[in-house]
Structure 1
Amino acid sequence: MVSNNRIAFGSCNEQDRQNKMWPIIEKRGPAAFIFGGDAIYGDYDLPTDWTKFLPETPHVCADPARLRNLYKKQKAVPGYKSLLKSNMTIFGSFDDHDYGCNNADKTFEHRYEAGLEFVEFLGQPADSPMSRRAQAGMGVYGVKLFDFARPKGQQEVPDEEALIDPHVLDNGNATAVPVFPAYSNQSVAVFVLDVRSNKSPWKQGSAAYIPDFEGDMLGEDQWQWFEAAISRSRAAVNVVVSGLQHHANIFPEPNIAESWTRFPSSQQRLFDAMLQDGVQAPILVSGDVHMSQLMRKDCARIDGTSKQRRSLVEMTTSGMTHSWGTVSSPPLSNPNEKPSLQERYKSFAARVTMHVLHAVSPWTDLLVSQPSTEEATAGLFPNGGGEGAKDGLQYSLEKNFGELEFDWENRRVSMRSFGETPGTPPLLMASWTLDQLSGHDSIPGSVLTSQNFVDQANLHAPRFTKNGGEWMCLAHRGTPSLFWQMAGHVSTVGGLSILLPFPMLVPTLLLAMMFFRKPRTGLASSKRRI
């Protein structure tokens, strides 16, 4: 069903593989499609060198020429090409693979050129604020405003009318918030952040397991831009998109599982900016992890001056051509290609591992749909499970794209994750009122008490004293114990250690059984002949 009141999101798209999402997205008719990272995969692995005592798989990072060629190839993909012709706004920011190198940061040698290639891929005009920042080597970040009270095809508000981006004026002095904004109360601001060009490197070795309070995700220029821009927004909904998960803490080693939680000071600064007075209905969107998840943190002021609680909900939508629960899509060059036995096994092992991890790990940010409540009866699903979507823990391992739909009459937002089969219910779905997302009304499902916030504030007092944090944000289903966290991490390592080498263990065991099998006795043989 086509709707003028939608914005779609997606990430992790291999340009050489089939992506069945493009026609589904176009048919649903969103005002915009926002890339949440990995629009292409520029880096790649060479074949494993088995001649060495410890086999190596060399990793090759992309240079600007390769990125340019792959972006050109992506724009020629039929489904995406049709999307480009549909008068839909294409916007977003990059993550590591379209930046050019796995888990890359500000030390990447092609940092500057990668930004230029990405804004060219998005089709940003050379004089746009995002392009000017990329040309100045500041990174790839920006904001787009959509006013859904305007006619279809005209919902993107020009930067000069929106007056949200501080760099929209040539002198960069757009500091005053417009008293009478040139947009309605049916507007959505989408901020895209660059978590690569100015990001500090992850620490290595045992030091990587300790949260890095000095690590910076955005760089000071981008921080000042974002804090000023979001404070200027008078949009009814404010969506913040970055390539890395903001709430999740899947694994304590960021070189294995990247997230904002590994740079706590940056995470705190992000939350404080989004929860400042005047920012209505903040929503987080992320990619990177090849699955979809719906998450929530509840936040309270550290100084105790207000009993007000505010929630920050997050939609992770990742894996348009590959995911933890599926075999990768076939190549565009051979759409009828069948996956090999090895590919099927790897998909099975990954799927089982991730289901087990969701069952045993302390991921208490995840929404859990509950039995029908008054809110659900009224058409609200604040803990997920609506519209025939999955019940229980709100995650899916299927290939997916995300969507936000805005019901302006009832002042509600619906968050959905869709799979690659047209006409089927969403994989995940949750919905809230704008008042709930803005902190005016509470959202059911939290187990947190005031004492939980006091205890955590005392525990982390030095951190907040140093960084001037204003809000304490906790997983809405409670802070997991250290034992539970360690059990989850051990399960991660244990599951992978057992499942991944299993194909090699089976033939080894069979050969061993044949070699050590005892010979049959003559008596036994004669009995069989009888």
Structure 2
Amino acid sequence: MIFTGPKFTYQLAVIISLITLSSYSQTKTYSIAFGSCDNQRLKNELWKSIDENHPVAWIWGGDDVYSDTEDMNELRENYAIQKNDSDYLQFIANKQILGTWDDHDYGLNDGGEEYPYKRESQQLLLDFLGTAKDAPERFRDGVYNSRVINFDGNKVKIIVLDSRFFRTAVTKALNSKKRLQPNPYGQGTILGKAQWKWLEEELSTSDAQFNVIVSSIQLLSDKHGFECWGNFPHEIDKLEKLIVASKAKGTFIVSGDRHIATFSSKKISNLNYPLVDFTSSGLTHVYSSFSGEENPYQVGKVVSDKNFGLLQFDFINNLVIMQIRGLENKLLGEHIQQF
């Protein structure tokens, strides 16, 4: 008997999908975790859950502490509270730690280049991350940095951006309930000239199978009226064109800031896979009353529970399993990206 028709086609597609996912689950994966928005005066209940996934590295995505201040002693003390937490100390014992800042650990809410203590604040963040005293980011403006992580001969490159030090003025929203609106096209910058040049070099010379760009603010979700790359639309275009021109393999974005977690995906001209922006936020407090917002690139549901992001790299099948996880390591959302 030969089975045909739409129902059979659908059933066959489901079977093939299940077989494919099963083959992924049987392949060894390698994990990196990330997260953002961790108030040092609130208990972070996620460290042990994150550790259950055995990540080799942890990426701080910004707002690593909350310390809107021009008092560097206060900022130093708040980092000390965070770093001396017993669960965190146990968590970082066998991991590589890297990351960036956002506004509240930078020292100024929604702050950019105008913050007067940015160089002093930079050194305190690098101290918190355990950055070597002779590292390049100790001697240049901005905390941007990169690291290649090796997994049994395979490479993942982590490219960490600084969206604060060089960022020029944003535009307050007019005649709107939103906080901000996009600058006129071409006006202002997020990364600044030196960082853009550095990023071009990092991408164009990368021989890694996967390239993870860490941005404290969202790239693709840009309609909500808060801080995001969409406040500088020409910078979005510039980054997308750079990713294409660099030919860097398996490139995607991870971001924070919003106190929610979500996946956004956008088709880019001349890029043979969708560009994904995986947002994970927050570790200690979230936008619990979230009821929705415009995001034409959203994939799946928005998560407004405490969460962290997990990246599982499958080098054989050339894919990344991206997971939003929460308390007790509960799986809250998943997106599988094939490259």
Q: TM-score, normalised by structure 2?
A: 0.86
The equivalent position to 1:97 in structure 2, one of 99, 104, 108, is 104
1:407 matched residue in structure 2? 314
**What is the deviation of 1:432?**
2.4
Residues 159-174 of structure 1 mapped to structure 2, 5 A cutoff: none
Residue range with higher mean Cα deviation, 112-121 or 206-215: 206-215
Measure, in 1, the Cα distance between the counterparts of 2:165 and 2:246: 29
Residues 425-436 of structure 1 mapped to structure 2, 5 A cutoff: 426-434=331-339
1:10 matched residue in structure 2? 35
**What is the deviation of 1:62?**
3.9
SS at match of 2:174: helix
Measure, in 2, the Cα distance between the counterparts of 1:394 and 1:251: 16
**What is the deviation of 1:430?**
1.1
Residue range with higher mean Cα deviation, 308-317 or 4-13: 308-317
1:161 matched residue in structure 2? none
Deviation by residue 1:287-332 (Cα, 9 ceiling, x = unmatched): 000000001010115xxxxxx654201100011000112xxxxxxx
What percentage of aligned pairs have identical amino acids?
31
Instruction: Work out whether 1:132 is the aligned partner of 2:139.
Output: yes
Residues 256-295 of structure 1 mapped to structure 2, 5 A cutoff: 257-295=226-264
Measure, in 1, the Cα distance between the counterparts of 2:244 and 2:77: 41
The equivalent position to 2:327 in structure 1, one of 420, 428, 433, is 420
Instruction: Work out whether 1:141 is the aligned partner of 2:144.
Output: yes
Higher normalized contact order (CA 8 Å, seq sep 6+, divided by chain length): 2
Contact 1:300 1:310 (C-alpha < 8 Å) held by counterparts: no
2:198 matched residue in structure 1? 225
Measure, in 2, the Cα distance between the counterparts of 1:270 and 1:288: 19
Deviation by residue 1:59-90 (Cα, 9 ceiling, x = unmatched): xx3421111111111111111111222x2001
Measure, in 1, the Cα distance between the counterparts of 2:74 and 2:316: 47
1:202 matched residue in structure 2? 170
Residues 108-507 of structure 1 mapped to structure 2, 5 A cutoff: 108-133=115-140, 138-149=141-152, 184=153, 186-204=154-172, 206=174, 209-213=181-185, 214-252=187-225, 257-301=226-270, 309-325=272-288, 351=289, 354-355=290-291, 357-358=292-293, 361=294, 363-367=295-299, 393-422=300-329, 424=330, 426-434=331-339
SS at match of 1:39: coil
Task: Indicate the structure with greater strand content.
Answer: 2
**What is the deviation of 1:203?**
2.4
The equivalent position to 1:69 in structure 2, one of 55, 77, 89, is 77
2:25 matched residue in structure 1? none
Deviation by residue 1:36-80 (Cα, 9 ceiling, x = unmatched): 10000002xxxxxxxxxxxxxxxxx34211111111111111111
> Which amino acid in the other structure matches residue 146 of structure 1?
I
1:27 matched residue in structure 2? 52
2:64 matched residue in structure 1? 39
**What is the deviation of 1:405?**
0.2
**What is the deviation of 1:408?**
2.1
Measure, in 2, the Cα distance between the counterparts of 1:145 and 1:394: 31
SS at match of 1:299: coil
**What is the deviation of 1:212?**
3.2
Measure, in 1, the Cα distance between the counterparts of 2:148 and 2:182: 38
1:81 matched residue in structure 2? 89
* Larger CA Rg, structure 1 vs 2: 1
Measure, in 1, the Cα distance between the counterparts of 2:316 and 2:173: 53
**What is the deviation of 1:115?**
0.6
Task: Flag the 1:280–1:16 CA change in 2: closer, same or farther, 3 A.
Answer: same
Contact 2:306 2:326 (C-alpha < 8 Å) held by counterparts: yes
Deviation by residue 1:342-392 (Cα, 9 ceiling, x = unmatched): xxxxxxxxx2xx22x34xx3x11001xxxxxxxxxxxxxxxxxxxxxxxxx
1:106 matched residue in structure 2? 113
Deviation by residue 1:140-170 (Cα, 9 ceiling, x = unmatched): 0100101101xxxxxxxxxxxxxxxxxxxxx
Measure, in 2, the Cα distance between the counterparts of 1:16 and 1:62: 19
Deviating beyond 6 angstroms after TM superposition, the runs of 4 or more aligned structure 1 residues are none
Contact 1:4 1:29 (C-alpha < 8 Å) held by counterparts: no
Contact 1:402 1:417 (C-alpha < 8 Å) held by counterparts: yes
> Which amino acid in the other structure matches residue 140 of structure 1?
V
Contact 2:29 2:313 (C-alpha < 8 Å) held by counterparts: no
Measure, in 2, the Cα distance between the counterparts of 1:4 and 1:119: 30
**What is the deviation of 1:210?**
4.5
**What is the deviation of 1:406?**
1.0
Deviation by residue 1:245-296 (Cα, 9 ceiling, x = unmatched): 00012334xxxx1110110111111112222243101110000000000010
Task: Indicate the structure with greater helix content.
Answer: 1
Aligned length: 308
Contact 1:4 1:30 (C-alpha < 8 Å) held by counterparts: no
SS at match of 2:223: coil
Measure, in 1, the Cα distance between the counterparts of 2:303 and 2:322: 14
SS at match of 2:143: coil
Query: RMSD of the TM alignment (CA)?
Result: 1.8
Specify every segment of 5 or more residues in structure 1 that has no aligned partner in the other structure, as ranges.
Answer: 44-60, 150-183, 302-307, 326-350, 368-392, 435-530
SS at match of 1:276: helix
Task: Flag the 1:288–1:192 CA change in 2: closer, same or farther, 3 A.
Answer: same
SS at match of 2:88: helix
Specify every segment of 5 or more residues in structure 2 that has no aligned partner in the other structure, as ranges.
Answer: 1-27
